[in-house]
Chains A and B, each alone.
Chain A
């Protein structure tokens, strides 16, 4: 009975899919990077600069001769930060333009949904500084790459900055620390690390969840008013961050006792929020970098010619730079793969995977790219898909973010055991084992 409706619909969709995926004048070699962006919905303030950074970096790569002559091709798909739309986008883009090289999910929830699919479809999933913390173990997660950090690394570097602010770990004994987190896998990732740290340092950790989208925080701040914690650690996203800062002000909680993580530390979170001065955030990987050489390059080569992706003012914002760095990693991984499989060739997802697994971005390379002031060297191995996770704290002075700490590194003594325990449980649940050593050069 519904045959006709379904047939017409599926025929129409199929026709569209074939129209949309007809190769756009494929006369040159192209490496396809799909983008799961979100420019709408409650998280759009965070998603838009992030996406524009991606676009501008890819545009620069093409202006500067591509990846050894291979042009970068990209296509955006709007997820609205919703997991089901993210899955649909993944399915839509994975076979387009000769096949996706790598997926960057831009959402922890979508990462969870795509981790297994990526492994089954043999497409790498790249989640720099977010994603599934367990996937740092390359032995268990062959296709996942949280390069340069995970949420656990975020939590640990945030704690280290807290120690610095308190004047030593011994000063934290008996103190009350409140974790105000986005009630989703992203926010919950903070809990195991901070719990382990609380046990070791002897402070009380109180966890307060804030449900999606994060505009309703009255109850949480009422509890903060009652318990009077010494510090509040903020794990927010999108509209939740500015709301938290406003609530802190109306509660009378000093902003210089609030410390955020990278999803809570961009310009869109603090700009226009009266009384955000003094708030700090510990950002994994790049911070804001308006004075970076690469930001200047974007202004000269793209914005001056009217080819910029977003407003000019966005260039150099923390999330914008994050987008650029995420795009940079996806490109550098392919560049690394080309060293092994042939310069100037289009890499398959499996070959690109080798590149992400053997990444080695040195200080010299960072200088060549013009990002030495905001990035630290990155490297991955077969066992360790995360590599060194460098973070730096920034404090908002009402007009801009100022660096307020040296580079911090997540402590492997804390993360290592957590990772092992968690991955072992995951493997037991799935009845799988870690990759054999000879699988490392595949």
Chain B
């Protein structure tokens, strides 16, 4: 009923090619942006912002980057944690070594270093595919782990190997309170989500998808595999690098190499798989699932137990959390192998023709 396109007639190419062609979607998106940028910061508690909002935003940004490479270009990558680490340590070194280095350029340059690294480790993708490539990108992960554990210079010779950053500010604006940090991350996420959305709708995005769907055929019709694959690696690792530097600077504040271990790579890959390969929204849904669900479960279970008069120990909760989480992943992938975003678009499809079944 509410979701009808009747009467929404496009009379220009521009109108036909906009990101959200349906009016209701535009309203929903506007409402979402207002919610994210005005309502949440003004209503949410510090806990919601610092422990839920900020990690969710940064992980969404990272998943967005992974999705460009894995979902749109079909290059399976297990090196996302490494790209995040390069971004984080790159930005850290710039801040530590250059006096009065401004924050945003440092973060962007962190992303740039990650991009160089990503292109370097993307080179094997020109020769190998699938699982073999996954192993090659795994090498990127282990190389960065080794690099930041062993090369003292990169961690500014800190005796414990842990580094920290403090008093962040942009110009004269401090980035200290949870609200400031949240909005800072949100600005990055909105900006890069828009860029990514437009990239995948453009010629270069179509090249990525062509390579993903059938690289031989793509080469035959004149798409350059080298250019397409390396540009996907570049864009993806740039975005992941920015996410890494935000994760380190804004969320953690102090971190050790283990903060960007292979576990993060796996989590990001799961986000993309569960959220939906080859969809911008998939990154957000996957990040919500992987970041928020464990936190939600760990708080919901004791409350549920309390209703029935059980006092559950924290260890039991942690185990149940893992079981439910694993079960849900399996269930979702059985119900919809293409992830949450596919479920979402199916739902919209149903609504468009409601009350008719098809």
Contact partner of A20 (CB less than 8 A), chosen from B32, B299, B344, is: B299
Instruction: Fill in one digit per residue for B247-284: 1 if any A CB lies within 8 Å of its CB, else 0.
Output: 00001111110110100000000000000000001001
Q: How many B residues touch A, CB cutoff 8 Å?
A: 57
| Contact pick for A37, options B31, B164, B300, B314, CB 8 Å | B314
Whether the Cβ atoms of A13 and B296 lie closer than 8 Å is yes
* Minimum distance in angstroms from A51 CB to a CB of chain B: 8
- The answer to whether A10 has its CB under 8 Å from any CB of chain B is yes
Determine if A157 is an interface residue (Cβ-Cβ < 8 Å).
Answer: no
The stretch of A184-192, A276-284, A292-300 that contacts the partner chain: A184-192
Candidates B50, B96, B296; contact of A429 at CB < 8 Å: B96
Given contacts A116-B253, A184-B258, contact A133 B295 (CB under 8 A): no
Q: Which residue of B lies closest to A432 (CB)?
A: B166
Given A3-B31, A83-B258: A40 and B315 interface contact (C-beta under 8 Å):
yes
| Chain B residues near A (Cβ < 8 Å) | 25, 28-29, 31-32, 35-36, 40, 44-48, 50-52, 55, 96, 149, 156-157, 159-162, 164, 166-167, 176, 251-256, 258-259, 261, 281, 284-285, 288, 292, 295-296, 298-300, 302-303, 313-315, 317-319, 344
Could you give 7 example pairs across A and B, Cβ below 8 Å? A2-B285, A6-B36, A12-B296, A17-B48, A17-B299, A112-B254, A116-B166
Assuming the A-B contacts A78-B318, A212-B258, A430-B166, are A2 and B288 also in contact, with contact meaning beta carbons closer than 8 angstroms in the complex?
Answer: yes
- Nearest Cβ on chain A to B63's Cβ, whole angstroms: 13
- Nearest chain A residue, comparing its CB with the CB of B263: A82
> 8 Å CB contacts to B: which residues of A88-102?
88, 91-92, 94-95
- Give the shortest distance, in Å, between B85 (CB) and chain A (any CB): 14
B137 → chain A closest CB, angstroms: 19
> Bound state CA distance, A120 and B46, in angstroms?
13
Given that A5-B285, A112-B164, A189-B159 are known contacts, is A10 also in contact with B40, CB under 8 Å in the complex?
A: yes
* A13/B288 in contact, CB under 8 A: no
B314 / chain A contacts, CB cutoff of 8 Å:
37, 39, 76-78
Interface pair A192/B299, CB less than 8 Å apart: no
Contacting residues, chain A, for B313 (C-beta < 8 A):
39
A399 at interface by CB-CB < 8 Å: no
Question: Chain B at the A interface: mostly helix, strand, loop or mixed?
Answer: helix
A91 touches B159 (CB 8 A): no
Q: Quick one: which of A6-65 are within 8 Å of B by CB?
A: 6-7, 9-10, 12-14, 16-17, 19-20, 37, 39-40, 44, 48
In the complex, what residues of A have CB within 8 A of residue B261's CB? 212
Return the chain B residue nearest A6 by Cβ. B288
A3 to B34 alpha-carbon distance, docked (Å)? 10
Question: B315–A39 contact, CB under 8 A?
Answer: yes
Q: Which residues on the A side are within 8 Å of B45 (C-beta)?
A: 14, 17, 95
Across-interface contacts of A113 in B (CB, < 8 A): 252-255
* B288 A5 Cβ-Cβ under 8 A: yes
Chain B residues with CB under 8 Å of A192's CB are 159
* Chain B residues, CB < 8 A from A116: 164, 166, 253-254
Chain B residues, CB < 8 A from A429: 96, 156
Does A87 lie within 8 Å of B252, measured CB to CB? yes
Chain A residues whose CB sits within 8 angstroms of the CB of B55 once the complex forms: 84, 88
Contact B48 A13 (CB under 8 A): yes
Q: Is A1 in contact with chain B by the CB < 8 A criterion?
A: yes
Most A Cβ at <10 Å: residue of B167, B256, B284:
B256
B307 to chain A, nearest CB (A): 10
**Residue of B160, B164, B319 contacting most chain A CB atoms (<10 Å):** B160
CB distance from B291 to the nearest CB of A (A): 9
In the docked arrangement, what's the CA distance between A170 and B88, Å? 46
C-alpha gap A109/B252 in the complex (Å): 11
| Interface status of A245 (Cβ within 8 A of chain B) | no
Is the C-beta of A202 less than 8 angstroms from some C-beta in chain B?
no
Check B299–A13 contact: CB distance below 8 A: yes
Alpha-carbon gap, A325 to B207, bound state (A): 63
Inter-chain contact B162/A185, CB cutoff 8 Å: yes
A22 vs chain B, min Cβ distance (A): 11
Contact A1 B300 (CB under 8 A): no
CA A86 to CA B315, docked complex, whole Å: 15
User: Contacting A91 at CB < 8 Å: which of B29, B47, B149, B166?
Assistant: B47
Measured between beta carbons, the chain A residues less than 8 angstroms from B295 are: 13, 88
User: Judging by beta carbons under 8 Å apart, are B52 and A10 in contact?
Assistant: yes
* A115 interfacial contact with B, CB 8 Å: yes
Residue of B nearest to A18 (CB): B45
- CB-based contact B256/A109 at 8 Å: yes
- The smallest beta-carbon distance between A323 and chain B, in angstroms, is 14
**How far is the CB of B175 from the nearest CB of chain A, in Å?**
12
The CA-CA distance from A96 to B344 in the complex, in Å, is 37
Query: A179 CA to B92 CA in the complex, in Å?
Result: 29
CB–CB A16/B35 < 8 A: no
Q: Is the CB of A188 within 8 A of B252?
A: no
Top 10 A-B pairs ranked by shortest CB distance?
A: A39-B315, A91-B51, A185-B160, A78-B314, A3-B32, A40-B318, A112-B254, A185-B162, A88-B51, A112-B162
